[in-house]
Structure 1
Amino acid sequence: MPHRLQKFLLGYSGTSLATGLQVILLPWIALTVVDLPALQLGWVQASVLLPNLVFLLFGGALADRRDPATVSALACIGLVLCHTTLLLVYLLSMISLPILMLYGICLGICSAFLQPARDNLVQRSARQGGGQTSERRVQKTVTWMMLAQYGGQAVGMLLASRFEHWGLQALLLVQIGVLLLAATALISLRANGASRMTKEKITHSLILDGLSQAWRHPVLRELTALMAFNGFVHIGVFLVVLPLLAEDYGRGAGYYATLQLAFVAGTVIATVTMLRRGQGAEPGRGILMCLLYSAALLIAISLGPTKFGLILLCLCWGAVAAASAGLGRGIVQLLAPAEYRSRIISIYQFALFGSAALGALAAGVLSEYAAPLTTLLWAGILSLLAFALVALSGALRRVKITDSEV
């Protein structure tokens, strides 16, 4: 494995591990340390998501105009400052709802700058000897990146499960340490010369220019629309309906954790498989098949499987989700023009996660007036319709990857 790729994966896995810790720690702090009710817990969770969406497109524009290695490393330092401040506040016994919301807002802002800049380093990490890189090598680098992401998050969640034994102080110190290590690895990927980086002021016109570029390209336009659909229907349903199903099955939080771990295991299995076999010459067709498989899985779950059957279906769901995400991010890396890559990555992520928030709300409303299984059935039917529309359009279906250099 090239030395640059090793540094990239070290930095990526470190930031992902810290994210895995954060996903578990923040609600646990709210519930066990501050003793917040459910409604205020929702405010704390939203405080992380909403700034991310507001600043994500701006973060993409910044990474296109500055060295993305520097931007991502500085974002890691920003996260370190967030966690260090919370640690000090905790030691002073001053944690409260306003403090947690401010902490969440700062985390969201730093993440918005980290995500597109970090993903923009794929092409640089895939090169060997500073020369050109092939499309196949970019695809493989994206797969390595996905494995670092899912593996890092899984390790972070497992570490967070030791909350009651290790305490908040130790876990915050782990977050700070891995983020400092990640910042060191990412900053080492800086370009040798800064000639290609301009000092142009970051304005809304740069963001609009990125949106225009994504809209002009039929494949990127179709892929972004499909990711918005996936976020609204699939992620939204996953976030809301899965815990409701765990409650309906009468197995409580332990069973829900098992379903989550099954999903993560599926993502790791799919990513390792893609790493061994490659993403294929027609990744667009692969994304279409993942959409069809998702529809089948949603309809299967809506039929009310056994407790063990639901675990197996969640495993398959995670594998399909990881395959779709890996193929989609590979296409973006290959088709996005270099000068617009970070902006198009941020647009792709904005479509996915922005629609997920709306999808979770819609799934909650539908599940309030109908059974969760009915929500899954409608999600499966909508997925079948989306599959038919994208297949008929053909832009994504016709994408072919060769061994040409990029």
Structure 2
Amino acid sequence: MAPMPPRSPFPWYLGGASLWFAAASLQVFLLQWLFVGELGIRPMDYGLIRAFLETPALALLLVGGVIGDRVDRRRLLVGLSLLACIPPLAIVATADALSFWPLVAFGASLAFLQSLSDPARQSMLSAVAPTDMQRTVTVMTIVTTLTGIGGYWVGGQLEALGLRTVLAIQAACFFASGLAVLRLPPGVGGGVARPGRGLASGFVVLWRLPLLRNVILLNLFSSMFNAGAYLVGMPFIARDIYGGNEAFFALMMMVFTAGTVGCNVVLLALMPLRRPGRAFVAMQLTRIVILVALWLEPPQWLFFVLLAAWGVNMGVTSTVARAMVQELAPAEHRAQVLSVFLFGFMVAAPVSSLVLGAVIDFAGPTTGLLPGVPVSLMLFAGALAAGLWRFESPSAAGRAGGSA
């Protein structure tokens, strides 16, 4: 009798990542709605809070990249999952009289843990990938995003379930994520970086690889006023333009995320894309139409249609950019390169929070969408100049059926 082939570790990896993402999505919802919907803070103050929460985590993200290249990532992720259970359980004690500073501490602690875990989790993906990197990243995006919708749904039941129950569910997801990662074989994705490499290693690698550097820079500017407009502007659009409660805001996030899932299902059928950069370039122009239409404050049914379209746009942009970075990053520095990739997204976050918070405070919630229009035009021109239109994916090399 022939021996059974070894089981792929990918399902356990995917389970751990999905459960973490569900809890993290619930965290995004809770911070946005509790500050804006429950405490009723102004847009300027909300922008300041987001910047305060996001800025300190930047340094930890780079540290996380170095750690992820040097230690057993499996043990690291299990430990961080267990630590992540503590903040939601701690905030339960103040759930009846929620106040500003406990909520800030809650957000900051989980932001720190997220910064340490993301580079290790992302870099481990190449070690457990069951197929080419484009398809693996897309499957990962689809499944984790679906669980993220589940996290938003739980957040939408805040009034029915109560804050204590919602926080307990979040802690349970973090704990279950650690259990799933624990089932991975010891040593999967273990650190391979050579000794003596410090925080600057990821930046040194990028300096030597212009195309990889360009993809990360373009993603940084895309995050600043496109993803930033979604994260900063949406709770105020829900509250002030459409008069929505927490269930309405959760539905907004679910519709947006459903658009992201749908586009990734289509991408999965088309992959491997021979020229993925062309999809990135095209999304910059279609986003302009979506942002302007949302700025016009359409009726509610059309607003949700446009939200889904924006989710499709953001999903294509982020999946294609992440897949290109995964393909182009050298294996021995992948965690550090990915930490720089995530670092770019997080650098954009406090900047967009401060700028868009001020814009919304001065001119209204939908005005926060408008800076994304000229930024998208600049990204379109920049992506063409950077060579993304001509880039051919290694995953699709030699495959006659690859899509352009």
Aligned to 2:383: 390
- 2:211 paired residue among 202, 211, 219: 219
Corresponding position: 1:151 with 2:146:
yes
- 2:267 paired residue among 264, 270, 274: 274
1:375 deviates by 5.3
In terms of mean alpha carbon deviation, does 74-83 or 159-168 score higher? Answer: 159-168
1:350 deviates by 1.4
Corresponding position: 1:64 with 2:69:
yes
Q: Could you tell me how far apart the structure 1 residues matched to 2:171 and 2:231 are?
A: 28
- 1:165 paired residue among 160, 169, 192: 160
- 1:287 paired residue among 280, 286, 291: 280
Corresponding position: 1:122 with 2:122:
no
Q: Could you tell me how far apart the structure 1 residues matched to 2:346 and 2:36 are?
A: 25
Aligned to 2:291: 298
- Relative distance call for 1:370 and 1:25 in structure 2 (3 A) is closer
Aligned to 1:55: 60
Partner letter of residue 71 of structure 2? R
Q: Could you tell me how far apart the structure 2 residues matched to 1:111 and 1:196 are?
A: 19
Q: Secondary structure at the match of 1:219?
A: helix
- Relative distance call for 1:196 and 1:343 in structure 2 (3 A) is closer
- Relative distance call for 1:140 and 1:43 in structure 2 (3 A) is same
Partner letter of residue 118 of structure 1? R
Aligned to 1:320: 313
Q: Could you tell me how far apart the structure 1 residues matched to 2:145 and 2:18 are?
A: 8
Corresponding position: 1:237 with 2:229:
yes
Q: Secondary structure at the match of 2:395?
A: coil
1:370 deviates by 4.8
TM-score by length of 1: 0.84
In terms of mean alpha carbon deviation, does 70-79 or 167-176 score higher? Answer: 167-176
In terms of mean alpha carbon deviation, does 292-301 or 336-345 score higher? Answer: 292-301
Question: Which blocks of at least 5 consecutive residues in structure 1 are unaligned?
Answer: 128-133
Aligned to 2:177: 182
Q: Could you tell me how far apart the structure 2 residues matched to 1:47 and 1:167 are?
A: 27
Deviations 1:301-323 (A, max 9, x none): 34554432222111111011011
- 1:307 paired residue among 276, 300, 309: 300
In terms of mean alpha carbon deviation, does 163-172 or 75-84 score higher? Answer: 163-172
Aligned to 1:131: none
Q: Secondary structure at the match of 1:38?
A: coil
Q: Could you tell me how far apart the structure 1 residues matched to 2:140 and 2:100 are?
A: 35
Partner letter of residue 288 of structure 2? A
Aligned to 1:130: none
Partner letter of residue 259 of structure 1? M
1:82 deviates by 2.5
- Relative distance call for 1:24 and 1:367 in structure 2 (3 A) is closer
1:17 deviates by 1.1
- 2:353 paired residue among 346, 353, 360: 360
Partner letter of residue 77 of structure 2? S
Q: Secondary structure at the match of 2:199?
A: helix
- Relative distance call for 1:200 and 1:109 in structure 2 (3 A) is farther
- Relative distance call for 1:301 and 1:115 in structure 2 (3 A) is same
Alpha-carbon RMSD across the aligned residues, in angstroms, is 3.2
Q: Could you tell me how far apart the structure 2 residues matched to 1:170 and 1:196 are?
A: 38
- 1:346 paired residue among 336, 339, 343: 339
In terms of mean alpha carbon deviation, does 369-378 or 99-108 score higher? Answer: 369-378
Q: Secondary structure at the match of 1:65?
A: coil
TM-score by length of 2: 0.84
- Relative distance call for 1:57 and 1:276 in structure 2 (3 A) is same
CA contact (8 A) 1:119 1:342 kept: yes
Deviations 1:312-354 (A, max 9, x none): 1111110110111111111111111111111111111111232
Q: Could you tell me how far apart the structure 2 residues matched to 1:195 and 1:4 are?
A: 14
Percent of aligned pairs sharing the same letter: 26
